[in-house]
Amino acid sequence: MTNQSINTLYQLKRSGYQSKTIKQEMRDNLIGFLKKGENPFTGIQGYDDTVLPQLQTAILSKHNIILLGLRGQAKTRIARLMMNLLDEYIPVVSGSEINDDPMLPMSRYAIDLIEEMGDETPVEWMHRNERYTEKLATPDVSVADLIGDVDPIKAATLKLHYNDERVLHFGLIPRSHRCIFVINELPDLQARIQVSLFNILQEGDLQIRGFKLRLPLDVQFIFTANPEDYTNRGSIVTPLKDRIDSQILTHYPKTLDLSKRITTQEVHISKEQRETILVSEMLLDLIEYIAIEARKSDLVDQKSGVSARLTISALENLYSTAERRMLLTGQNKTYARISDLFGVLPSITGKVELVYEGELEGVSNVAQALTGKAIKALFNEKFPNPEKAKKAKKPNPFATILNWFNDGYTVSVHSTVNDLAYQKELLTVEGLPELIKESYPKYSEPEKVILMELVLHGLAEYSQLSKHNLTKGFEFKDLMSSMFEMKNRHEDED
């Protein structure tokens, strides 16, 4: 019903409007979406065969729902997209605190108003965007916040006795009557507060400071939480868990391509950055590999999870690292490099929770190690294993490169030099341009240069070369000479 010219109870009755519960309303609208082959949960990637079918089943069953999963798995976004299943407008009694249905009034205010004005009772229309309430569960949330309390100021202003129902101030849940109500991070809600939700979920009873109110609240509850075993902040009390009809488990993307699609969909890159900075697919893969490596690292707390926000922030930082170099060197355009990845470390250090061993290593060292493993994973995808290549009967594709370094040559990859100087430095490595040209002849010139740097980083990860951090980049040299230098340095210190 969207005819907003209807503004009295009489007009509403004449229109043939039929009241329905919010769960029935969402069910009907979902049926309409499914029959048309449309998806109300736009922008949610990777859940088509797992989470969304379960979610749709729960809505068709008219259930209250809990979305259970690690951080960064789109739980809150799914909850917000539930608004797409609401009617565009619904009628409410004008001035009602709890969105009273004119055909089924509940509050004392609405009942008294309809009794006084009858068919002339004013009706207003509420848009679906106003029918969504979200509350983050924190230890300081009180029963008064959620359910309500006696308002002494209202009592004094209206000159009412404290046993008069009109002195009540309704909390968030009664004010969400005929709405979607979301509690994020449910385990963080104190157990005694969780207990206050029992009757509302099951029987619809509402008790505020001794007032026995029988308000059959019509609320679609959605809760989100990390799995109980994965949090030390609290847990969901068992009777409350029992009253939540459907529990749906979310998950991280199952493939690299899917993870990459989510990152590129969510990332905030300015038009100017997109036009002036080229980011190769290889670097997009590398960023996803960092998250993949973090999700299986023994140094990272897997119970906490590694959010998709890590890759989103990392990609934004990658663009900005390349942009900063472009501004410093006075170029109009540039392309991101492997070494630019080390400019995204701040995106990693704040996004991973470490176990005790990881804390001993230090978050910065762990972030660098994860980046190194990501580079190694991409290198393995593009080139043969250097250790196996050394022992194979076929000629070692890296032999010329390694021999060049064995002759005492070094290469410095500086993060602040322009693209021409960067390319020129890599082209000095004997055998490196030839390897890339032979392996990937159809790649663009910028991508071939990125592959050249990838080879050096990959050989360093396999301990075929040594890699040293410089103030503004990296230096690659022969492994043995580096070991002798380190030994001599220690002897000098002794």
Q: In this predicted model, what pLDDT tens digit does every residue of 268-322 receive, in sequence order?
A: 999 999 999 999 999 999 999 999 999 999 999 888 888 889 999 999 999 999 9
> Quick one: pLDDT at residue 164?
60
Half-sphere exposure of 235 (CA within 13 A, CB side): 7
Assess contact for 349 and 364: CB atoms under 8 A. Answer: yes
> Quick one: pLDDT at residue 219?
93
> Quick one: pLDDT at residue 48?
93
CATH class of 253-382: mainly alpha
Query: Is residue 152's pLDDT more than 70?
Result: no
> Quick one: pLDDT at residue 211?
64
> Quick one: pLDDT at residue 487?
46
As a whole number of angstroms, the distance between CA 352 and CA 325 comes to: 27
DSSP 396: P
Tokens linked to 15: 């229109």
Q: What is the pLDDT of residues 236-263, one digit of tens each?
A: 888 888 889 999 999 999 999 999 999 9
> Quick one: pLDDT at residue 13?
92
On the 0-12 / 13-18 / 19+ scale of CB atoms within 10 A, 173 is buried
Q: What is the pLDDT of residues 69-123, one digit of tens each?
A: 988 899 999 999 999 999 999 999 999 989 999 999 988 889 999 999 999 999 9
Fold of 9-142+178-185+221-249: Rossmann fold (3.40.50)
Phi–psi pair at 42, nearest 5 degrees:
-70, 145
> Quick one: pLDDT at residue 490?
46
For the chain, the domains span 9-142+178-185+221-249, 253-382, 388-494
Give pTM, 2 decimals.
0.85
**pLDDT (average), residues 31-46:** 94
Q: What is the pLDDT of residues 411-434, one digit of tens each?
A: 999 888 999 999 999 999 999 999
Question: Tokens 């040209």 sit at which residue?
Answer: 437
- Tell me if residue 331 falls in helix, strand or coil: coil
Which among 341, 339, 355 has a CA at the least distance from the CA of 302?
355
Number of other CB atoms surrounding residue 247 within 10 Å: 16
Query: Is residue 3's pLDDT more than 90?
Result: no
Distances in whole angstroms, Cα of residue 423 to Cα of each of 188, 224, 447: 53, 49, 11
Architecture of domain 388-494: Orthogonal Bundle (1.10)
As a whole number of angstroms, the distance between CA 218 and CA 86 comes to: 13
Angle at 257 between CA 252 and CA 260, to 5 degrees: 70
**Positive or negative torsion for Cα 264, 267, 271, 277:** negative
Q: What is the pLDDT of residues 314-367, one digit of tens each?
A: 999 999 999 999 999 999 999 999 999 888 999 998 888 888 898 999 999 999
> Quick one: pLDDT at residue 166?
64
As a whole number of angstroms, the distance between CA 41 and CA 48 comes to: 10
Q: 370 falls in which pLDDT band (50, 70, 90)?
A: very high
Q: What is the pLDDT of residues 187-213, one digit of tens each?
A: 888 888 888 888 788 766 666 666 666
As a whole number of angstroms, the distance between CA 72 and CA 19 comes to: 37
Q: 31 falls in which pLDDT band (50, 70, 90)?
A: very high
Mean pLDDT, the chain, integer: 88
> Quick one: pLDDT at residue 171?
84
